[in-house]
Structure 1
């Protein structure tokens, strides 16, 4: 866990004191033209160092809430500016809340990106498996004494029994693509079968 240093705590504290003094001005505890307690007194009141009070007053002077004059001290210059200053801090809180929401959305997006990447990888693997079924094409010759001779592709039920698809039959050097289910096989026909290596092995066994 990251620890907040003393300087970080002091910074947060002087901002809180500036807000508290501005709130006191807006509520009428201090009036325009009225002198505020000296820095040493304020340091004792808020139980902080004079440096912290000096930073708080510097903020208020910078936004026109008070004026610091040598020998005079801290004087309230504008109640309206004190109110405006407080509203700006309210807006800061709204902005911070908006930033936190954006961070949450970015975290969700990163989580979604990881899920999308995971799904894409799974889809790629599935596609590779599916495509391998159709891109792996083997040539299987029907022997002269094969039991498949004289039978049709329908009768052999090649797809159901092997998972392969006969995409073409080569006969006498000529290819017949997409043969119909009623196509009758002959000896020495060469089947172009698309499917896995396992399926093609089953097909070879089927037409022995």
Structure 2
């Protein structure tokens, strides 16, 4: 807070010079008086004056004290500080954007991992697809999938039926089976054995 305070005092004095409260060549109050005016320590005033002296706004001479040297430099000092303040705002905004981007990257990574996991599961399911043919004398000929209750009786999922070289994906419950149809199913080995008995 002390550092921020002496910067504020330097700005206030420079502003007073620009506004004509202190004129070029005019002596400013001594450090002790300024310390009382701003209610800070003399060391804080010394730092504020050092900033202004370095910027060419005031001169400090032994026995003379603090004298205003340039209104133009005071104006430049204020403009320079304002530019620094703007840069600081830009930096803070940039940091905020970067934090948001990191958060977004984290969310994207999480969704990507979910998609990869889901894809792995789907790939493993498709790798377990079995083909079971409906026999010519099968009791399943002429019956619908709903009537056969394949899922209830076997636990298998019929993902497609191949008929005459064409695949009927996701057949509905009313799909009627014909001889030589090939059912593409996903499920356990026990379920496949049970389906073969049905067909």
TM-score normalised by length of structure 2: 0.74
CA–CA distance in structure 1, aligned partners of residues 119 and 28 of structure 2: 77
CA–CA distance in structure 1, aligned partners of residues 62 and 90 of structure 2: 42
CA contact (8 A) 1:135 1:194 kept: no
Give the aligned partner of residue 165 of structure 2. Answer: 180
Q: Deviations over 1:28-62 (max 9, x none)?
A: 01111111111111111111111000000000011
What displacement does 1:137 show?
5.1
- Name the CA shift for 1:151/1:41 in 2 (closer, same or farther; >3 Å): farther
Does structure 1 residue 149 correspond to structure 2 residue 135?
A: yes
TM-score normalised by length of structure 1: 0.71
Counterparts of 1:83-122 in structure 2, within 5 Å, are 83-122=75-114
User: Please, which runs of 5 or more residues in structure 1 have no aligned partner?
Assistant: 1-8, 143-147, 169-177, 186-190
CA–CA distance in structure 2, aligned partners of residues 121 and 156 of structure 1: 43
- Runs of 4+, deviation exceeding 3 Å: 137-140, 151-158, 164-168, 181-185, 193-198
Report the secondary structure of 2:25's partner residue: coil
Q: Deviations over 1:108-156 (max 9, x none)?
A: 112211211221122112111211111225687x8xxxxx432699979
User: Please, which runs of 5 or more residues in structure 2 have no aligned partner?
Assistant: 151-155, 167-177
Give the aligned partner of residue 60 of structure 2. Answer: 68
What displacement does 1:163 show?
2.8
- Name the CA shift for 1:60/1:183 in 2 (closer, same or farther; >3 Å): farther
Cα-Cα RMSD: 3.2
Give the aligned partner of residue 8 of structure 2. Answer: 16
CA–CA distance in structure 2, aligned partners of residues 136 and 156 of structure 1: 26
- Name the CA shift for 1:60/1:119 in 2 (closer, same or farther; >3 Å): same
- Name the CA shift for 1:166/1:61 in 2 (closer, same or farther; >3 Å): same
